[in-house]
Amino acid sequence: MKLVAFITSTCLILIPMSAYSAWNWNGRLKTKVQADNRYSRYTDETRTFGEIWGNVEVFDNKSWRLALDFVSRESVETGFEAEIFQLYVEKEFVSLDGQIKIGRFQRADSLGFYSLDGADVQYKMPDKGLRFNFYAGRPIRQEDVRSVSGEWLYGFELHSFQMVNWQNSILPIDTWSTRIGFQQFHSQYTSTQLSVGNVLQGQFQHDYLYAYELSFMATLDAENGTFEELLSSVALDVTESSRIRLNYAIYEPKLFFPTFKERFYSSYYQGKQDLLSLNFTQSINSTFSYHVGGKRAEREGKKYIGYGFDTGLKSDYFSDWRLTADFDMLEFGESSSYNLYFSSQYSLSTQTLVTLNLAYSLDKSALYDENKAAGTELKFRYKVLKGVFVDLAGSYIVNSRLEDEYLAGLQVSWYFDNFVAKDSQ
């Protein structure tokens, strides 16, 4: 099969690299066989495929770096497919405090998570805590994510990190981080995004409050004057082990397919939403912590407004056994969502890890009536030898109204490296 040939040729390429002792290299190679109906559960058709994922980095201890990320898949339904996510070379100019990256590399911003065929130039002013980035190229859509593909885009970013150390009794400022960006995207339409971000952190000098963090990040679509994304947060550490956080966010999930845990979160929503939340987290001791909070969500331009509550706990009392439990609910008038999630992770030995996730969901909708869902996910990881792991995973979600969802997979992962100390070169 083409997939087997692809794996073999990749290994043949990697093996000779160890001969170049002047270079360091590391990476990961994953081979997987999986069957699921994640893409086609509305028609209840099983998709079976085998694939290989790989990422390799080659670098010296001076200024050069090369990177490759790829995937190759063969399935009964679509045959052989292959895609390169990243393939770039990076050169650092130490005397100029800059570096340049050329090729295909990955970016994440308000457009989504995508690959960019182009170049990225970085210039640093370390004595002033400043970094400038200029990038341009052709964006390429990546599978399974909410992103774009187009003709070209360009932009620049300014990053600043300042050690302020401004002490006062009201609002001391220890550090101040700033990010300012501009980006223009061209396809069938043209869009211009302006972005800004600020993070202030400080530690109080009195007894009733320990520390704080203020953050604000936003991306504005300059064409229509609306926010693509916005996140503001106020966090107060009452003590070293307890925190109150107030969040407000306007966002849209980047992934088309949520994880098993996200599948049972009422606030997870494929469309754009405004979410206001207040949470309190406390660590009772080194092995037990809990959180409790409330939230308000707006969807479809304030057409729907809902209120919710969430609470949970985590225990590491037994050194080899981690337990977590979460309850989450959200009500939108006649619509509502109640979710209960439980996770257990146990180390059978230094080589074996078992994870069991259980979930239950009750969703009511004025349009789609009621759906009850109960899910189980089981994962088993075994360390065969240094850098080689075998993973078995399976999940099944029973729905009362929708088609049941299932996934089963076997994966072998190889983590490899060839570290060479700088003094030995």
pLDDT band, residue 9 (cuts 50/70/90): low
Beta bridge partners of 162: 176
Range name among 91-95, 185-189, 392-396 with the lowest pLDDT average: 185-189
With beta carbons less than 8 A apart as the criterion, state whether 289 and 311 touch.
no
Residue 136's alpha-carbon distances to 11, 109, 152, 163, in angstroms, are: 33, 14, 7, 31
Tell me how far apart the alpha carbons of residues 87 and 117 are, in angstroms, rounded to a whole number. 9
Average pLDDT, the chain: 86
pLDDT band, residue 15 (cuts 50/70/90): very low
- Encode pLDDT of 119-146 as tens digits: 999 999 999 999 999 999 999 887 655 6
The residue-averaged pLDDT of 255-264 equals 69
The residue-averaged pLDDT of 302-327 equals 90
What is the token pair recorded at 415? Answer: 């983590």
Q: What angle do CA 249, 253, 258 make, to 5 degrees?
A: 130
What is the DSSP code (8-state) at residue 145? Answer: B
Tell the residue number behind the tokens 């909708």, with chain if given: 365
Work out whether the CA dihedral 148, 153, 158, 159 comes out positive or negative.
Answer: positive
Work out whether the CA dihedral 399, 404, 410, 413 comes out positive or negative.
Answer: negative
What pLDDT score was predicted for residue 424?
41
Regarding predicted confidence, which is higher, 204 or 419? 204
The residue-averaged pLDDT of 291-320 equals 88
The residue-averaged pLDDT of 182-204 equals 92
With beta carbons less than 8 A apart as the criterion, state whether 46 and 39 touch.
no
With beta carbons less than 8 A apart as the criterion, state whether 109 and 115 touch.
no
Nearest Cα neighbor of 325 from 255, 264, 379, 368 is: 264
Tell me how far apart the alpha carbons of residues 64 and 69 are, in angstroms, rounded to a whole number. 17
- Encode pLDDT of 345-401 as tens digits: 999 988 999 999 999 999 888 777 888 999 999 999 999 988 899 999 999 999 888
pLDDT band, residue 25 (cuts 50/70/90): confident
Tell me how far apart the alpha carbons of residues 140 and 154 are, in angstroms, rounded to a whole number. 14
- Judged by DSSP in three states, 12 sits in helix
Statement: residue 107 has pLDDT above 60? yes
Statement: residue 419 has pLDDT above 80? no
Residues 6+ apart with CB under 8 A from 116: 104, 105, 106, 107, 135, 137, 138, 139, 140, 153
Q: Position 334: which residue type?
A: E
What is the token pair recorded at 149? Answer: 């593909």
Statement: residue 21 has pLDDT above 80? no
Statement: residue 179 has pLDDT above 50? yes
Tell me how far apart the alpha carbons of residues 325 and 75 are, in angstroms, rounded to a whole number. 37
Length of the chain: 425
What is the token pair recorded at 188? Answer: 């069938």
What pLDDT score was predicted for residue 2?
55
